[in-house]
Amino acid sequence: MKMLDLCSGIAGISMAADWAGINTAAFCEIEEFNQKVLRKNYPNIPIFPDLYKLTKQSLLDGGVDVDSIGVISAGYPCQGESMAGKRKGAEDERWLWPEVFRLIRELGPTWFVGENVAGHVTMGLDTVLSDLEEENYSTRTFVLPAVSVGAPHQRYRTFIVGHSNDKSKLQADPRVVPFRSKRQPRENIAGVNRGTLSRTYWEENQPSICGMDDGTATRLDEDRLKFLGNAVVPQQIYPIFEAIAKIEGLL
């Protein structure tokens, strides 16, 4: 089973998936700086720059084995939901969920894993869950802080997991708690207890969040700050991929 990573950023989601034995088949990322990072760290994985133009056929033309894609992930832009933004939600021109959903419908993966800011719970999440459920996906939503996996900052994120009922292995495995098809009340959205995973190693001679030496920021540092601000902490999302891998018999 492989994953199509949409709105890839610097591959925080793909890193977590890789730890669970789920390799990435292709990235879709528009930002040039992020593309450079992806090419350096994943030189053999194709990068498609334009989500609006990405289709099953363009993936095939790019040499991607679409039949191997069992997971679609997407850290779709969060500015429309971020508490620090204007909170336009679906009216924001950066709202890319419709394009992500188009590809889910076209490729029909067994799993969908989405990531967004905590503010997504009150703006945009209902649309995402309704779309997935109309396509016969059972869904679960989690809001997890990065501090729960040892990061030195709170960084709450909303994670959405969708599983296709057309390809269900959940009911056949009594060890697995099935996803609820009934929508979860917002107050019941799940989290994890602090300390679930071991503390992440953070370099002590550098600022623990940005990982850069103290001093005047260079242009490269400015780019890093910008894209680190949008990046996913891999340890934060790893338990989701670990669960998927166990259900699929990969672990």
pLDDT value of position 82: 46
pLDDT digits 0-9 by tens, 91-122: 555 679 999 999 999 999 999 999 998 888 88
**Which residues does 50 contact at the CB level (< 8 Å), separation at least 6?**
28, 30
pLDDT digits 0-9 by tens, 10-40: 999 999 999 999 999 999 999 999 999 999 9
Distance in angstroms (rounded) separating the CA atoms of residues 16 and 35: 18
Q: Which of 76-80, 81-85, 90-94 has the lowest mean pLDDT?
A: 81-85
In the predicted structure, residue 81 carries a pLDDT above the cut 50: no
**Which residues does 22 contact at the CB level (< 8 Å), separation at least 6?**
1, 2, 3, 70, 71, 241, 244, 245, 250
In the predicted structure, residue 214 carries a pLDDT above the cut 90: no
Residue-averaged pLDDT of the chain: 79
Measured at the CA of 241, the angle between CA 239 and CA 243, to 5 degrees, comes to 70
Domain boundaries, the chain: 2-247
Output the CATH code of domain 2-247: 3.40.50.150
Mean pLDDT, residues 209-228 taken together: 46
